[in-house]
């Protein structure tokens, strides 16, 4: 609806979610309906063929349908009317036979979601591949870990990327599950009994789902929206997992930190030196939209009787937006991570900048063996405070402590971050193994 959509949503995804794609999907549903009807012997074959032949988007005027849809509260009424006019003659009466508007909209939503999910998953694959590469390449590259945005202890950039990777793989796994099993055809007729189809209802439902390549639901799900809410939640969670990476990239890109930079940093309209983390910024905005719209979908589970007045209609735009922004986040972060410039030297410099303060946990363990934990903690906290305020390096403050009991050489060894990486590399391996197994776990 705004100038801004293409800024957040890649063009290919935007097309899968555009009016034309929705119209095509609704016509796919109508075509599958007469086809299934014909196969089940409910609809005359010739009539079905005539209808199917008219299920082509180019025969319809989208703007007119949408405007007419305002009066009926959904776009299917006018579409059915227009399709009947296209078909003409006897065959026209078989258009939409056995279905209700919601059958068509919901099925179209599943088709649109399936096509969009392909793109979302493909971009999240790119994200995962890029994270895996970063984890592998930088598995031993020391950097400082930060908690509450304060330098804490050493870690490696590989371990950070491994954490990103696992988040994306977990979110992806759920999305794949839902793509495989959660996208179901909708066909219930006026109120979920398929009464207009007589005794052929279940057979037509089966063939309809088969024709569309969608799962056959146990029941029509007109007012059971669990699958829609689950899809929305999974997309928002994917967007959130991507947003976590984006947030880290923005923070690591800060002028004062400068450990990474987006390859294609955005310029500023007024400041020539700026290299903004644009891709990550867009991904963060996308995550907010995905979450807000998924929240709407969760709130819309409470639907009245056999078709809701309001909650169902609100889903259409919300699901579209969740797909658009979920995919927008994936595309943005794929671009960011594939082009990410990593400055290992700066990582090392920032790690060293505290003069060893970030090794104080390690010192604390060393000293605790002799002094007891509390005394060790207090000695170190005091030295850290003096170093922070007085100007003398932490190392010198420590050596000045009589109770330290470490030689300068021992202290320097203890202050070497490369010696205090714990299981960082092992965790990187575990994440990479999970990544390699991910395709197998999908099927």
Q: Which of residues 334-363 bind a copy of itself (CB under 8 A)?
A: 350, 353-354, 357-358, 360-362
Three-class DSSP category at 342:
strand
Q: Does 125 bind a copy of itself (CB under 8 A)?
A: no
Q: How far apart are CA 323 and CA 319, in angstroms?
A: 6
One symbol per residue from 377 to 416: x for binding a copy of itself (CB under 8 A), - otherwise; what is it? xx-xx--x---x-----x----------------------
Phi/psi region, residue 61 (left: phi>0; alpha: psi -120 to 50; beta: rest), is beta
Q: How far apart are CA 443 and CA 439, in angstroms?
A: 7
**Residue with Cβ nearer a copy of itself (164 or 208):** 164
Could you please report the per-residue DSSP string of 343-370? Answer: -HHHHHHHHHTTTTGGGHHHHHHHHHHH
Tell me if residue 307 is catalytic.
yes
Stretch that binds a copy of itself, among 34-42, 45-53, 118-126, 162-170 (CB under 8 A): 162-170
Tell me if residue 268 is catalytic.
yes
Compute how many residues bind a copy of itself; rule: CB under 8 A. 187
What does residue 307 show for φ and ψ, rounded to 5 degrees? -160, 135
User: Footprint of a copy of itself on residues 14-43 (CB under 8 A)?
Assistant: 14, 17-19, 22-23
Kindly state the smallest distance separating residue 373's Cβ from a copy of itself, in Å: 4
User: Footprint of a copy of itself on residues 183-242 (CB under 8 A)?
Assistant: 189-199, 201-202, 218-227, 229-230, 233-234, 236-237, 240-241
Kindly state the smallest distance separating residue 385's Cβ from a copy of itself, in Å: 9
Instruction: Kindly tell me which residue out of 36, 110, 127, 167 binds a copy of itself, with binding defined by CB under 8 A.
Output: 167
Instruction: Kindly tell me which residue out of 372, 405, 408, 439 binds a copy of itself, with binding defined by CB under 8 A.
Output: 372
**Residue with Cβ nearer a copy of itself (49 or 251):** 251
In degrees, rounded to 5, the angle at the alpha carbon of residue 117 between the alpha carbons of residues 22 and 26 is 20
- Name the residue with tokens 């797909």: 323
Which of the residues 56, 268, 373, 430 is marked catalytic? 268
**Contact (Cβ atoms closer than 8 angstroms) between residue 102 and residue 186:** yes
One symbol per residue from 74 to 113: x for binding a copy of itself (CB under 8 A), - otherwise; what is it? xxxx--x---x-----x-xx--x--xxx------------
Q: What is the CA radius of gyration of the chain?
A: 29
**Contact (Cβ atoms closer than 8 angstroms) between residue 342 and residue 259:** yes
Buried b or exposed e, range 205-223, using 16+ CB within 10 angstroms: bbbbbebbebeebeebbbb
Separation of CA 235 from chain center: 5
Task: Enter the tokens of residue 204.
Answer: 């037509």
User: Footprint of a copy of itself on residues 270-329 (CB under 8 A)?
Assistant: 270-278, 280-289, 291-296, 298-311, 313-314, 316-318, 320-321, 324
**Residue with Cβ nearer a copy of itself (9 or 340):** 9
Catalytic residues: 268, 307
């Amino acid at each position: 609806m705004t100038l801004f959509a293409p800024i957040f949503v890649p063009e290919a995804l935007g097309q899968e979610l555009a009016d034309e794609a929705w119209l095509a999907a609704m016509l796919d549903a109508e075509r599958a309906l007469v086809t299934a009807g014909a196969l089940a012997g409910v609809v005359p074959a010739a009539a079905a063929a005539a209808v199917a032949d008219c299920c082509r988007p180019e025969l319809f005027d989208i703007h007119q349908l949408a405007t007419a849809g305002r009066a009926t509260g959904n776009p299917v009424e006018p579409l059915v009317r227009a399709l009947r006019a296209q078909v003409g003659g006897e065959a026209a009466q078989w258009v939409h036979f056995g279905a209700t508007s919601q059958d068509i909209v919901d099925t179209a939503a599943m088709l649109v979601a399936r096509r969009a999910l392909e793109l979302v998953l493909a971009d999240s694959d790119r994200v995962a591949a890029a994270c895996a590469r970063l984890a592998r390449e930088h598995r031993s590259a020391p950097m400082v870990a930060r908690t509450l945005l304060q330098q804490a202890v050493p870690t490696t950039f590989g371990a950070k990327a491994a954490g990103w990777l696992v988040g994306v793989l977990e979110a992806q796994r759920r999305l794949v599950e839902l793509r495989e099993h959660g996208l179901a055809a909708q066909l219930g007729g006026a109120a979920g009994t398929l009464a207009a189809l007589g005794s052929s209802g279940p057979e037509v439902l089966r063939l309809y789902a088969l024709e569309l390549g969608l799962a056959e639901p146990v029941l029509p799900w007109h007012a059971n929206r669990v699958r829609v809410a689950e899809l929305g939640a999974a997309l928002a969670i994917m967007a959130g997992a991507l947003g976590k990476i984006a947030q880290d990239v923005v923070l690591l890109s800060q002028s004062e930190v400068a450990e990474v930079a987006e390859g294609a940093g955005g310029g500023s309209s007024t400041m020539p030196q700026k290299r903004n983390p644009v891709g990550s910024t867009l991904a963060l905005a996308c995550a907010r939209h995905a979450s807000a719209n998924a929240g709407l979908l969760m709130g819309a589970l409470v639907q009245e009787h056999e078709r809701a007045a309001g909650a169902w209609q609100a889903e259409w735009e919300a699901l579209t937006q969740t797909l658009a922004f979920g995919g927008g986040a994936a595309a943005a972060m794929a671009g960011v991570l594939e082009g990410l410039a990593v400055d290992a030297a700066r990582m090392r410099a920032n790690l060293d900048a505290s003069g060893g303060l970030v090794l104080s946990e390690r010192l604390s363990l060393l000293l605790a063996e002799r002094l007891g934990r509390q005394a060790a903690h207090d000695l170190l906290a005091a030295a850290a405070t003096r170093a922070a305020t007085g100007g003398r390096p932490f190392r010198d403050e420590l050596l000045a402590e009589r109770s330290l009991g470490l030689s300068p050489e021992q202290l320097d060894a203890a202050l070497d971050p490369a010696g205090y990486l714990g299981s960082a590399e092992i965790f990187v391996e575990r994440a990479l193994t999970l990544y390699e197994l991910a395709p197998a776990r999908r099927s």
